[in-house]
A = this chain, B = another copy of it.
Amino acid sequence: MHELMRGTGGRVVETLNEYGLSLTQMKALYLLDEPTEEVSVKVLGTCLAMSLPAASRTADSLLLRGLVTRHEDPEDRRIKRLLITPEGREVLRTLEAVRLDGVERWAQALTTTQRDALHAALLTLHDGDDDHPDNEGPR
């Protein structure tokens, strides 16, 4: 598992460097990619375990790169809502492609027996989640 993470993570970090994005900026983009809600700066900070100023600066940097937009909440003008742009989503899709490519390369290096065993284990893990949908694991 450690090897898998190290191998695939390296490519992702490389890609982030090419875009000039930090890991925090990537996490923020992923949070904003959720289509359910329009995230405030405060929520961004809370979800990413960051101070409010850090969240504000992170939003600034993404704004500067055109990956998000920022606008006042009409119902509470203290709140600034952040919205990912099409360019932002495109960056995330690229990152996911890189990650998937890494996992596939790793899986290709396995024997058929190994792949089958891993596949069976992952299926079982996934089925268990369906049985207990509110169980997100320990801690």
Chain A residues within 8 Å of B, Cβ to Cβ: 1, 3-5, 7, 10-11, 102, 105-106, 108-111, 113-114, 117-118, 120-125, 128, 131, 135-139
The answer to whether A1 and B1 touch (CB under 8 A), given A113-B124, A124-B117, A138-B105, is: yes
The answer to whether A7 and B137 touch (CB under 8 A), given A117-B121, A120-B117, A121-B120, is: yes
Chain B residues in 8 Å Cβ range of A114: 121, 124-125, 128
**Complex partner residue of A138 from B5, B106, B117, CB under 8 angstroms:** B106
Name the residue on B nearest A136 (C-beta): B3
A136 to chain B, nearest CB (A): 7
Tell me whether B1 and A138 are in contact (CB under 8 A). Answer: no
